[in-house]
């Protein structure tokens, strides 16, 4: 999958520019070199031009600090599900790092600004943290983001009043808990692809987000695809991957 590189090595071996052993080493390490870092998402990131992503939950502030420091040498980095103490640890070694509190994201390095627009729509105030995780992720990955929060379907007039801000978007992200109906309603109103992110907001028979998840998977509107419960990052990332294609 890197034909020119392989051919170049073969050529150099033939011409004696590099030894057979060196040629072998280069060919054998090729997949590893392509990756560069230990992080499993690395190879893809490099190709996509996106910054490195660190999932902070379950790691100590010290571990997160060290990973950020290492990755920051190669470019931009972002950390998701990070709390205040994680950020403090990182900011001690990377004073320019920024903490997006509601989104729980640590950001470091320059953003690639692109021309795409992502609308992030959320149903209730309790869905805002997930919506913000999606919004900040999309911004860091280069999109402009318009946030349209608190427009759940129980008060349809509000959503309809904001529809003019949603329709121009290249991708629409809908974050909703409870019955998750907002994804279907928005899906029926726009022509852009809709990324639905169910949230665990609710109680009782919402079963930690299962009701919204099933609702969104069974959406009667076309052009809707779903990511994991509370996975705001995943929605923002998917939106960025889609809009990157559209440049």
User: Interaction with a second copy in 11-40: which residues (CB under 8 A)?
Assistant: 11, 13-14, 16, 20, 23-24, 27-29, 31-32, 34-35, 38-40
Q: Does residue 179 bind a second copy (CB under 8 A)? A: yes
| Residues 222, 227, 233, 239, CA torsion sign | negative
Least distance to a second copy, CB of residue 93, Å: 20
Burial of 247 (0-12, 13-18, 19+ CB in 10 A): exposed
- How many residues touch a second copy under the rule CB under 8 A: the total is 110
Q: Does residue 168 bind a second copy (CB under 8 A)? A: no
List binders of a second copy among 47-66 (CB under 8 A).
Answer: 47-48, 53, 57-59
Given a contact cutoff of 8 angstroms between Cβ atoms, the answer to whether 130 and 232 are in contact is yes
Residue closer to a second copy by CB (options 142, 180) is 180
Least distance to a second copy, CB of residue 70, Å: 14
Select from 62, 115, 160, 168 the one that contacts a second copy (CB under 8 A). Answer: 160
**Alpha-carbon distance values, 52 to 59, 178, 227, 242, 246 (Å):** 16, 33, 20, 18, 22
**How many other C-beta atoms are found inside a 10 Å radius of the C-beta of residue 83?**
15
Q: Does residue 132 bind a second copy (CB under 8 A)? A: no
Least distance to a second copy, CB of residue 94, Å: 20
Q: Does residue 234 bind a second copy (CB under 8 A)? A: yes
Least distance to a second copy, CB of residue 95, Å: 26
Q: Stretches 68-76, 84-92, 98-106, 233-241: which one binds a second copy (CB under 8 A)? A: 233-241
Q: How far apart are CA 40 and CA 2, in angstroms?
A: 19
Residue closer to a second copy by CB (options 53, 72) is 53
Q: In what order do the strands lie in the sheet with 77-80?
A: 52-55, 77-80, 105-108, 98-100
Residue 119, beta-bridge partner list = 146, 172
Give which of 193, 188, 240, 247 is closest to 219, Cα–Cα. 188
Select from 77, 79, 152, 175 the one that contacts a second copy (CB under 8 A). Answer: 152
Least distance to a second copy, CB of residue 86, Å: 15
Give which of 111, 85, 109 is closest to 97, Cα–Cα. 109
List binders of a second copy among 180-209 (CB under 8 A).
Answer: 180-181, 183-185, 187-193, 195, 198, 200-209
Residue found under tokens 């660190």: 54
Given a contact cutoff of 8 angstroms between Cβ atoms, the answer to whether 107 and 137 are in contact is no
Q: Does residue 7 bind a second copy (CB under 8 A)? A: yes
Q: How far apart are CA 65 and CA 79, in angstroms?
A: 10
């Amino acid at each position: 999958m890197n034909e020119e590189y392989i051919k170049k090595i073969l050529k150099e071996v033939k011409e004696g520019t590099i030894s057979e052993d060196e040629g072998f080493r280069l060919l054998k390490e090729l997949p590893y070199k392509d990756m560069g870092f230990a992080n499993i998402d690395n190879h893809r990131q490099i190709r996509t031009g996106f910054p490195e992503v660190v999932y902070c939950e379950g790691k100590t502030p010290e571990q997160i600090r060290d990973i950020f420091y290492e990755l920051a040498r190669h470019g931009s980095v972002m950390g998701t599900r990070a709390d205040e103490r994680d950020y403090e640890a990182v900011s001690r070694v990377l004073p320019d790092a920024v903490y997006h509190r509601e989104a729980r994201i640590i950001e470091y390095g320059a953003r690639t600004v692109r021309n795409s627009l992502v609308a992030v729509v959320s149903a209730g105030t309790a869905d805002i943290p997930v919506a913000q995780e999606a919004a900040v992720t999309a911004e860091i990955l280069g999109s402009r983001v318009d946030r349209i929060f608190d427009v759940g379907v129980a008060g349809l007039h509000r959503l309809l009043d904001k529809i003019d801000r949603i329709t121009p978007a290249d991708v629409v992200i809908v974050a909703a808990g409870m019955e998750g109906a907002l994804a279907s309603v928005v899906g029926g109103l726009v022509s852009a692809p809709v990324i639905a992110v169910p949230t665990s907001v609710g109680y009782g028979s919402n079963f930690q987000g299962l009701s919204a998840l099933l609702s969104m998977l069974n959406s009667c509107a076309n052009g809707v695809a779903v990511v994991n419960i509370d996975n705001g990052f995943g929605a923002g990332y998917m939106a960025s991957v889609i809009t990157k294609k559209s440049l």
